Amino acid sequence: VAHAGRTVGRLGEGDWDGKVSEIKKKIKSILPGTSCDLLPDTSHLPPEHSDVVIVGGGVLGLSVAYWLKKLESRRGGIRVLVVEQDYTYSQASTGLSVGGICQQFSLPENIQLSLFSASFLRNINEYLAVTSAPPLDLRFNPSGYLLLASEKDAAAMESNVKVQKQEGAKVCLMSPDQLRNKFPWINTEGVALASYGMENEGWFDPWCLLQGLRQKVESMGVFFCQGEVTRFVSSSQRMLTTDDEMVILKRIHEVHVKMDHSLEYQPVECAIVINAAGAWSAQIAALAGIGKGPPGTLQGTKLPVEPRKRYVYVWHCPQGPGLETPLVADTSGAYFRREGLGSNYLGGRSPTEEEEPDPANLEVDHDFFQEKVWPHLALRVPAFETLKVQTAWAGYYDYNTFDQNGVVGPHPLVVNMYFATGFSGHGLQQAPGVGRAVAEMILEGSFQTIDLSPFLFNRFYLGEKTQENNIM
């Protein structure tokens, strides 16, 4: 009988013994008493289904998540997943930001957004209260912004201030004499006019806002996941527009989230994707197929957001300006503000197009300070001739190369991708307002409180710039 088994095997009927042992192993694994690992453990992966997936967990992404949860009419209504590729936020623009908030913009929408943010930040403990956590201390320093204008920019500054006053910002114009009176440390050479924000302007701690949002949003039931979005699975359909043109409309229905340091990924089924990826927004948009088409068409219009590196330097100067110093933005583009109570200041300057540093890493170029920033600072504030640089860091602007203003709202062709990115350095201060606008767009279908239609994606294709003139 023992021979018969081997004979059967030799007849080529397959590995009978192997099959039997496999079946035995399977039965053993199902029997109680042994660990049943028939189903792999997926607790570290994001959920398989989420109604809204927010790509990017910085202040803009969390703000959108917060307002989505706040404005939904039933609690627990929408499932939101926030995907952030780096939990330490080491390269995210939010944490590396200077943290200023001002209403001195030329565009009314920007002014309204900053005004709303100011009231949000003032009442932050009502908005972001979590029962088990202590109240937030934003360390809001309401010292205001001081923008200086030379002869040729004076007229523009006057009209800007008019718009700002119309929108409700508390800004006043100052002549060089008034400047010298109020701020004795300033050298008004080359300054024709200055605008000084008296209320709702200043700087605050961006980490605190981020952590506060993070806590609140988690308590509202938003799922968090650390991972990288590697793929969008979408379905497309050809449709005819009213002018009988053929367009291909796409709809993302699955997001592949890849885990850190592994090849594992989780396909998350979703209805809406929000691109709040900051400096990396263009990559996410390219994954969704935005910009893949002949240039000059709507399909070929890429998202014009790219990372631009900006340096921030911290220096110590004991004879420097006093405690009431606002954030001063010089005519040359250099800016500085106080940092804390110990005669420390931080500041920097936006490089010109030719001087743009390479955004591949966040290394600091100290020569830039020596050659390009210090001379202007020393000119404007003579006390700064004897400053001592203590430290410096670099962060990314999610720079909108088209018109340096944010992109908000849905994409016309990839119909369920919403943008909340490209704010070119003022994203942090406009985050609450933008988050609310995107949430309103999703839940109600249109902007309800602040109309951000000049910030829609269509303007890149139509060539209509909504230029913001007061970028630092």
Distance CA 128, CA 215 (A): 8
Binding test (CB under 8 A) with other proteins, winner from 17, 22, 48, 371:
48
Judged by CB under 8 A, the stretch of 101-109, 194-202, 270-278, 421-429 that binds other proteins is: 270-278
Q: How far is the CB of 254 from other proteins (least distance, A)?
A: 8
According to CB under 8 A, which residues from 196 to 215 bind other proteins? none
Residues in the chain: 472
Closer to other proteins by Cβ: residue 2 or 39: 39
According to CB under 8 A, which residues from 78 to 97 bind other proteins? 78-79
Is 264 a binding residue for other proteins by CB under 8 A? The answer is: no
Q: How far is the CB of 223 from other proteins (least distance, A)?
A: 13
Judged by CB under 8 A, the stretch of 26-34, 42-50, 156-164, 359-367 that binds other proteins is: 42-50
Phi, psi of 98 (to 5 degrees): -75, -25
Is 270 a binding residue for other proteins by CB under 8 A? The answer is: yes
CB 121 within 8 A of CB 206: no
CA distances in angstroms from 289 to 82, 234, 373, listed in the order given: 21, 10, 40
Closer to other proteins by Cβ: residue 19 or 49: 49
Is 51 a binding residue for other proteins by CB under 8 A? The answer is: yes
Judged by CB under 8 A, the stretch of 85-93, 139-147, 245-253, 309-317 that binds other proteins is: 245-253
Closer to other proteins by Cβ: residue 73 or 262: 73
* Tokens standing for residue 418: 């919403």
Cα Rg of the chain, angstroms: 27
- Write down the residue that tokens 């930040």 correspond to: 121
Is 49 a binding residue for other proteins by CB under 8 A? The answer is: yes
Closer to other proteins by Cβ: residue 311 or 457: 457
Distance CA 434, CA 242 (A): 31
Is 253 a binding residue for other proteins by CB under 8 A? The answer is: yes
Strands (E), 204-333: 223-226, 228-240, 246-258, 265-269, 272-275, 305-316, 327-329
Strands (E), 167-212: 171-174, 193-197, 202-203
Is 272 a binding residue for other proteins by CB under 8 A? The answer is: yes
Is 316 a binding residue for other proteins by CB under 8 A? The answer is: no
The sign one gets for the Cα dihedral 265, 266, 267, 270 is negative
Closest C-alpha to 225, from 254, 261, 262, 266? 266
Is 376 a binding residue for other proteins by CB under 8 A? The answer is: no
Is 410 a binding residue for other proteins by CB under 8 A? The answer is: yes
Angle at 247 between CA 463 and CA 451, to 5 degrees: 45
Binding test (CB under 8 A) with other proteins, winner from 237, 297, 386, 469:
237
Is 249 a binding residue for other proteins by CB under 8 A? The answer is: yes
Give the other-Cβ count within 10 Å of 39's Cβ.
6
Is 449 a binding residue for other proteins by CB under 8 A? The answer is: no
Binding test (CB under 8 A) with other proteins, winner from 154, 208, 271, 392:
271
The sign one gets for the Cα dihedral 420, 425, 428, 434 is negative
Judged by CB under 8 A, the stretch of 159-167, 214-222, 249-257, 366-374 that binds other proteins is: 249-257
Q: How far is the CB of 15 from other proteins (least distance, A)?
A: 23
CA distances in angstroms from 171 to 102, 184, 200, listed in the order given: 10, 20, 10
Closer to other proteins by Cβ: residue 399 or 457: 457
Applying CB under 8 A, the residues found at the interface with other proteins are 39, 42, 47-49, 51, 72-74, 76-79, 236-237, 239, 249-251, 253-254, 269-272, 410, 415-416, 418, 441-443, 445-446
